[in-house]
Structure 1
Amino acid sequence: MASHHGVAALLITSLLVAVTLADARPPLTMHHNKLGGYAVADTARRQPPELVCTKIYGVQQRHETCFALAQAGELSLEQFFSFNPNINCQKLFIGQWICLSTDFGA
């Protein structure tokens, strides 16, 4: 019975990896020429505008939270997470830089 659990776990993991890789592929665009149509990967994905942080804060206490930092910066949580997209709120550390205000870069 234990081997069935291992096979099921391996199958689920494989499916998750396949779905992740499929989502990561660039979209295909069909180009036509005199020889007929062919598919080419569209590498010109639109990039979001670059954020330039204009106000930063260094975490100073061990138990500071993302919610408290957002409130201190007078930000909604949605704004806070858009300014700090890779933040792990469960693992904030003293000295970690947090962005509290941004300007869109060129």
Structure 2
Amino acid sequence: MAKASSRVAIMNLILVLSLLLMVSMAECRQLGIGFGKEETSPVCDSVYGAEEGDTCGSVIEKFNLSSDFFLSINPNINCDSFFVGQWLCTQGTVN
């Protein structure tokens, strides 16, 4: 009986340590001190309201931007369906 209770105690200890490790890793990610690639957030300095007939390509050409830069300062853009009046960032930085 003593062996069974010591095994249960060891399993409980392992579970508690595992939980503490998971919480610790989650906290590090929230604070940005974990391993891996840092997240970047764009800062927009100038915007343009999309006009009838605009496409990602035409806006990139109009403002003489590279495709990669345009997409990095407009991270949530859907080039297949943006609408007239939608604000598009045309100048900015990615931190």
TM-score, structure 2 normalization: 0.60
User: Counterparts in 2 of 1:8-47, with a 5 A limit?
Assistant: 38=18, 39-41=21-23, 42-43=25-26, 44-45=28-29, 46=32
- Aligned residue in 2 for 1:85: 75
TM-score, structure 1 normalization: 0.55
Equivalent-residue separation in structure 1 for 2:93 and 2:55 (angstroms): 24
Equivalent in 45, 50, 54 of residue 41 of structure 2: 50
- Aligned residue in 2 for 1:60: 51
Identity %: 33
Bigger Rg, structure 1 or 2: 2
Q: How many pairs does the alignment contain?
A: 70
Tell me the CA shift for residue 49 of structure 1: 3.7
- Structure 2: state its 5+ residue gaps: 1-12, 33-37
RMSD of aligned C-alpha atoms?
A: 2.2
Equivalent-residue separation in structure 2 for 1:102 and 1:71 (angstroms): 16
Equivalent-residue separation in structure 2 for 1:78 and 1:50 (angstroms): 15
Q: Provide the secondary structure at the position in 2 that maps to 1:48.
A: coil
Instruction: Work out whether residues 47 and 91 of structure 2, in 8 Å CA contact, stay in contact via their aligned partners in 1.
Output: yes
Letter in structure 1 aligned against 2:22: V
Poorly superposed stretches of 4+, deviation over 3 Å: 35-38
The higher-RCO structure (CA 8 Å, 6+ apart) is 2
Instruction: Work out whether residues 46 and 91 of structure 2, in 8 Å CA contact, stay in contact via their aligned partners in 1.
Output: yes
